[in-house]
Each structure stands twice: as structure tokens, then as C-alpha cells.
């Protein structure tokens, strides 16, 4: 198969080489006037040249990253609790089937036009195709295409920026729960987590993550083993008094909140074009989705069933608070911290690379060149990504000051703000623009319309539910943070009887 990047790479290699030669000549000219001139080459980064120089990742690296990002099973029992078992199964079934289809749609669109190297660009090009097909003048379409791209870029930025704060909130809570003898405020823990996250956000590209991505994947497997071990060893539905309760009153806000959480659980589509851009063979994208969904959907179902059976309406977004404070629970929290540390990188990498490229800094370069700012890309990355991470830590600290199950609320907010758009209804638009023709069946057209409409409904209803829940809570002074484990909360299924192994 012909390489779809060949023409693009060749053209941009020539462009890059031209820049290097030109700057070499300038360096030689200036060296005659300044003996101390830097021997490094100054190379301005452009979006096309950066795309051409990006190292390509294999299926393993992309599949592990996609799998790891989707792996948020621990909050699923709480999602069932707030929506009820029936609504949860309806939403879960629809979300699993729909998002698998939309993932395939994005892969086909990329193969149809490999210049769609970002989600924003893919959406704007699809919208342009639809408008032209509908008879809109091409000059008007040309004016709207960059506006659409910018709007989707803002949506993508807000979504994954919020998601990075979710990862920081998770780690902060895990550390506070693990190191109970260290009495620190939640904001102080968040600052500590930020400092600990600095090395991982310095990984230049997704391809470079292939060296370390297996470690957090193993951590997820260990955490899942602890989850099932804690539940099957305590059996709250059988050994505890008063036991779990089921079927609490479900409100419209709680149902809408769960919609955002399911969108979050099947999210990640907003990064798929960027992942496709870094694949050696983008035509292998279906293998990535088959691995991801073929393993994660069964995991979700098992965790939802056993977690809700064990804890019922008391299931928490931070499921570790439903466990006793024992050694296995501590291991689980440490393993999930490893996953979330990597999550801080993966949710931020696309945003940081985009900004760096916009500022003329090539994220694929290290010390061998000089940016327009007079420092190497490695130094620029250190300063810029440190600042970027600091802003995420500040936002996470603000969320941590809110009482209530903040994990579910922030996940739902991130899911509602953009993941529903980039996972559900925007791929329907992309499919219509890239993949559908006049010969497309009426059934296919009906499905696209339904998926688009459902996505819009999920977005706005989830936004309403998450914001309602957040505003219903209060700002509290969590200094130090106090955590209550099973069976010490009066609402715990084992509060009266205690836990018997």
C-alpha cells in the first residue's frame, strides 16, 4: 500500500532542509562578525514540517495508550448508583456501540484525507465538504473553515484540560488516603502531585511514550485484581448488616450526570486523529479499536455488576473509600496513582504540542537546534510545560475545595463539555462529510441523524447535571483532608456488623 504520508513528508523534508541550509548560511555569515555565535541551527517549526518529522508509533504503543485512556472502570459502580441499574444499562449499551462506530469513522476519515492530523482540522474539512455538497459558495466555505477549526480546537482544549485536572484530583485523593499520617491540606497535596508530575509531562510526543506506557497498563490490571479481591473477600451483600441498598430515588439531574460519566468512560476520541497522525500504518487503526473495546467493555460490565452488587447506592466515585483501609487498598491506590500520573501526560500532550507548534517550537527536537526564543526546544518545553501544569494544579485545587463526590462531578463536566461532542455527534458530521455518498442507504442516514441528535442531547443534559451537582456543593476548608473507609460511615453496608472476611 502506498504511504499516504509520502508526498507530505517529501515536501516538508525539502522545506525543513531548506530552512536548515538557509539558517546555516546565516550562521556562517554571522560567525564572521561574531566569533562566539552559537553553533546550533535555528529551525522554525511549522505544522506541516512537524507532522513530517514526527516519529511513527506501532500498533502496540497506540493501542496501549488508547486502552489506558479509556480505562476508568472504578467510577462505573457509582455511575450506576446515581442513574439506576436500568438507565445505566441502556446508556452503557448505546455508548459502547455508538463510540466504537464513531472511532471507526475517524479512522476512515483520516485515511480519506491524511492531512487531517488534528481533530479540529478533520471536523472543519468535513463541515466544508458538507456545505459545498449542499450548494454553499466555496468562497463562503473558505471563510468558515478556519472558524470551525478554531471553535473545535477550543472545545478540545477545554475538555482535555479539565480531564488533566481530574487526573490530578484522583492522585491527590489517593495520596491523602495512602499517607494518612501526613496531615496536609488538599491544595498542598495538589501542589506536591504537580511537582511529581513534572518529569512525565516532559515526554516530547506520543511515540516516545512507548517506552513507559506498559507500566501504567500493568498498574490498572493490579488495581482491578484488588477490586475483585476486596469485594469477593468481604461480600457485603451476604455478610454485612444492614447490607447494601438498591434503587434510591433517581432524579433528572442524576440521570443527566450519569450521561456525562458514560461519555467520559468511552471518551478519548478527541485525540484519535492525533494518534492516527503518529501511527506507522494508519490502516491498522481497526486493530487498535478491537483491542481496546474487546477488552475494556467486558471489564466495565464486570466492575459495574460486582461494584454495584457489593455497595449499592453507597458506591462512591472513589471506589477505594468503599474498601477497608488495608494493605491491598493501599496497593490499589498506589497503582491507580501510576495510571493517573500517566493520564496527566496523555491528556495534556496534544494540547501542549499544539501550543508549542503554534509558537514555532518543534516538539520533536531536543538540544540540537535553537528556537526563535534563543533556547533549545528541550529548555522551552521545560519552562512552558511547567507553567501549563501549574495552571492545571491550581484548577484541581479549586475543585478539591468543593464538598461532595467531586470525582463524579468533574468527570461528568469534562464528559459533557467536549467528550460527548467529539465522541458522539461530531463524528456523525465527519462521517457524513467524508464517508457517505448518494448511494448510502436510508438506514445509514437514519443512524447518523440519531447519533448526532443523541450526542447533542447528552452534551447539554450532562452539562446541566454536572453543573447542578457542583453548584449544590459547598466550598470547604479541607485541612487536613479526612477520609472515612468501610465500615465506619453510617451509610456503609457493613456499618452495623463490621467486616468479616
pLDDT, tens digit (0-9, with 9 covering 90-100), for 137-175: 888 899 999 999 999 999 999 888 988 998 898 888 888
> How crowded is residue 439: how many other Cβ atoms within 10 Å of its Cβ?
6
Residue 107 in domain: yes
> Three-state SS for 42?
strand
Check which CATH number belongs to the domain holding 402 and give it. 1.20.1740.10
Nearest Cα to Cα of residue 260 among 377, 419, 129, 124: 419
User: Is residue 224 in a domain?
Assistant: yes
> Does residue 385 belong to any structural domain of this protein?
yes
Q: What is the pLDDT of residue 285?
A: 97
369: which strand partners? 41
What's the pLDDT score for residue 362?
82
Angle at 287 between CA 451 and CA 276, to 5 degrees: 75
- How far apart are alpha carbons 223 and 386 in whole angstroms? 29
| CA of residue 373 relative to chain centroid, distance | 31
Average pLDDT over the chain, rounded to whole?
83
Beta bridge partner(s), residue 42: 370
Give the C-alpha separation, 465 to 260, whole Å.
8
User: Which of residues 7 and 232 earns the better pLDDT score?
Assistant: 232
**Nearest CA among 107, 216, 140, 161 for reference residue 352:** 161
In a domain, 1, yes or no: no
Q: With pLDDT > 70 as the criterion, what percentage of the chain qualifies?
A: 84
Question: Taking 50 as the threshold, does the pLDDT of residue 318 lie above it?
Answer: yes
Residue 481 banded pLDDT, cuts 50, 70, 90: low
Classify residue 346 as exposed, middle or buried by CB count within 10 Å of its CB (0-12, 13-18, 19+). buried
Residue-wise pLDDT tens digits, 248-304: 877 777 777 777 778 888 988 998 999 999 899 999 999 999 999 999 999 999 999
In a domain, 269, yes or no: yes
User: According to the model, what pLDDT value does residue 1 have?
Assistant: 44
Over the Cα atoms of the chain, what is R_g?
A: 24
| Burial of residue 423, with CB atoms counted within 10 A of its CB: 0-12 exposed, 13-18 middle, 19 or more buried | buried
Cell of 404: 461532595
Among 40-44, 320-324, 468-472, the minimum mean pLDDT is found in: 40-44
In a domain, 350, yes or no: yes
Residue 399's pLDDT is 80
Confidence band, pLDDT 50/70/90 cuts, at residue 11: very low
Pick from 338, 380, 123: which is nearest to 217 by CA? Answer: 338
- Average pLDDT in the 17-37 region? 38
Q: What would the pLDDT profile of 450-475 be if each residue is shown by its tens digit?
A: 989 988 887 887 777 777 776 666 55
**Count of CB atoms situated within 10 Å of the CB of 202:** 16
* C-alpha closest to that of 419 among 259, 213, 253, 217: 259
Residues 6 or more apart from 367 whose CB is under 8 A from it?
376, 377, 378
Q: What is the pLDDT of residue 21?
A: 37
pLDDT tier at 3, thresholds 50, 70, 90:
very low
The pLDDT of residue 18 is above 60: no
Average pLDDT over residues 440-459: 88
pLDDT tier at 359, thresholds 50, 70, 90: confident
Any residues with CB less than 8 A from the CB of 490 and at least 6 apart, and which?
A: none
Contact, 109 vs 430, CB < 8 A? yes
Phi, psi angles (nearest 5°) of residue 107? -65, -40
Helix (H) or strand (E) holding 49: helix 47-53
Q: Considering only CA atoms, which of 16, 45, 3 is closest in space to residue 357?
A: 45
DSSP string, 208-268: GGGGTTHHHHHHHHHHHHHHHHHHHHH-HHHH-SS-----PPPPHHHHHHHHHHHHHHT--
- Structural domain contains residue 48: no
pLDDT value at 38 more than 50: no
Closest CA to 72 of 329, 268, 280: 268
- Which of 100, 353, 332, 377 has its CA nearest to residue 209? 353
- Tell how many helices (H) and how many strands (E) occur in the chain: 19, 2
Give the model's pLDDT for residue 346: 86
C-alpha cell at 54: 514526527
At 407-436, the pLDDT tens digits run 667 777 777 778 888 998 899 999 999 988
Please tell me the pTM assigned to this model: 0.80
Give the chain's domain count: 1
Q: How confident is the model at residue 376 (pLDDT cuts 50, 70, 90)?
A: confident
pLDDT at 41: 52
Query: Of the ranges 281-295, 298-312, 372-386, which one carries the lowest mean pLDDT score?
Result: 372-386
Query: What DSSP state is assigned to residue 476?
Result: -
Quote the CA–CA distance of 414 and 262 in Å, as a whole number: 11
Burial of residue 465 (number of CB atoms within 10 Å: 0-12, 13-18, 19+): buried
In a domain, 157, yes or no: yes
Which structural domain, as residue segments, surrounds residue 331? 61-472
Amino acid at each position: 500500500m502506498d504511504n499516504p504520508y509520502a508526498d507530505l513528508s517529501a515536501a516538508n523534508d525539502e522545506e525543513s532542509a531548506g530552512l536548515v541550509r538557509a539558517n546555516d548560511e546565516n550562521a556562517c555569515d554571522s560567525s564572521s562578525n561574531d566569533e562566539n555565535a552559537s553553533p546550533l541551527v535555528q529551525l522554525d517549526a511549522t505544522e506541516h514540517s512537524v507532522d513530517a518529522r514526527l516519529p511513527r508509533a506501532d500498533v502496540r504503543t497506540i493501542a496501549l495508550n488508547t486502552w489506558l485512556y479509556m480505562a476508568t472502570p472504578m467510577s462505573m459502580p457509582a455511575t450506576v448508583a446515581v442513574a439506576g441499574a436500568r438507565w445505566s444499562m441502556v446508556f452503557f449499551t448505546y455508548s459502547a456501540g455508538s463510540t466504537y462506530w464513531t472511532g471507526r469513522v475517524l479512522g476512515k476519515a483520516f485515511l480519506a484525507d491524511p492531512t487531517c492530523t488534528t481533530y479540529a482540522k478533520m471536523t472543519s474539512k468535513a463541515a466544508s465538504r458538507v456545505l459545498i455538497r449542499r450548494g454553499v459558495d466555496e468562497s463562503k466555505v473558505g471563510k468558515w473553515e478556519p472558524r470551525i477549526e478554531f471553535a473545535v480546537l477550543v472545545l478540545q482544549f477545554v475538555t482535555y484540560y479539565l480531564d488533566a485536572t481530574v487526573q490530578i484530583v484522583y492522585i491527590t485523593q489517593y495520596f491523602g488516603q495512602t499517607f494518612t499520617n501526613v496531615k496536609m491540606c488538599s491544595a498542598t497535596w495538589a501542589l506536591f502531585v504537580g511537582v511529581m508530575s513534572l518529569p512525565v509531562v516532559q515526554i516530547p510526543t506520543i511515540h516516545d511514550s512507548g517506552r513507559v506506557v506498559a507500566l501504567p497498563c500493568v498498574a490498572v490490571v493490579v488495581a482491578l485484581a484488588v477490586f475483585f479481591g476486596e469485594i469477593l473477600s468481604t461480600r457485603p451483600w451476604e455478610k454485612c448488616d444492614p447490607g447494601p441498598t438498591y434503587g434510591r430515588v433517581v432524579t433528572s439531574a442524576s440521570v443527566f450526570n450519569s450521561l456525562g460519566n458514560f461519555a467520559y468512560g468511552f471518551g478519548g476520541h478527541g485525540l484519535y486523529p492525533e494518534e492516527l497522525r503518529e501511527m506507522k500504518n494508519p490502516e491498522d487503526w481497526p486493530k487498535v479499536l478491537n483491542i481496546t473495546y474487546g477488552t475494556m467493555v467486558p471489564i466495565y460490565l464486570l466492575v459495574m455488576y460486582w461494584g454495584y452488587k457489593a455497595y449499592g447506592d453507597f458506591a462512591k466515585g472513589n471506589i477505594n473509600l468503599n474498601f477497608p483501609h488495608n494493605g491491598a487498598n493501599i496497593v490499589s491506590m498506589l497503582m491507580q496513582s501510576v495510571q493517573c500520573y500517566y493520564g496527566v501526560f496523555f491528556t495534556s500532550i496534544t494540547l501542549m504540542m499544539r501550543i508549542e507548534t503554534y509558537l514555532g517550537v518543534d516538539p520533536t527536537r531536543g538540544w540540537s537546534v535553537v528556537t526563535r526564543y534563543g533556547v533549545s526546544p528541550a529548555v522551552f518545553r521545560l519552562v512552558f510545560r511547567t507553567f501549563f501544569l501549574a495552571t492545571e494544579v491550581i484548577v484541581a485545587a479549586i475543585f478539591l475545595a468543593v464538598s461532595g463526590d467531586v470525582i463524579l462531578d468533574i468527570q461528568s463536566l469534562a464528559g459533557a463539555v467536549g467528550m460527548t461532542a467529539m465522541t458522539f455527534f461530531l463524528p456523525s458530521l465527519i462521517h457524513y462529510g467524508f464517508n457517505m455518498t448518494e448511494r448510502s442507504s436510508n438506514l445509514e442516514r437514519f443512524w447518523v441523524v440519531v447519533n448526532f441528535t443523541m450526542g447533542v442531547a447528552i452534551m447539554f443534559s450532562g452539562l446541566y447535571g454536572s453543573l447542578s451537582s457542583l453548584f449544590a456543593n459547598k466550598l470547604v476548608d479541607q485541612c487536613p483532608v479526612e477520609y472515612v473507609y468501610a465500615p465506619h460511615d453510617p451509610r456503609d453496608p457493613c456499618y452495623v456488623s463490621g467486616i468479616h472476611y
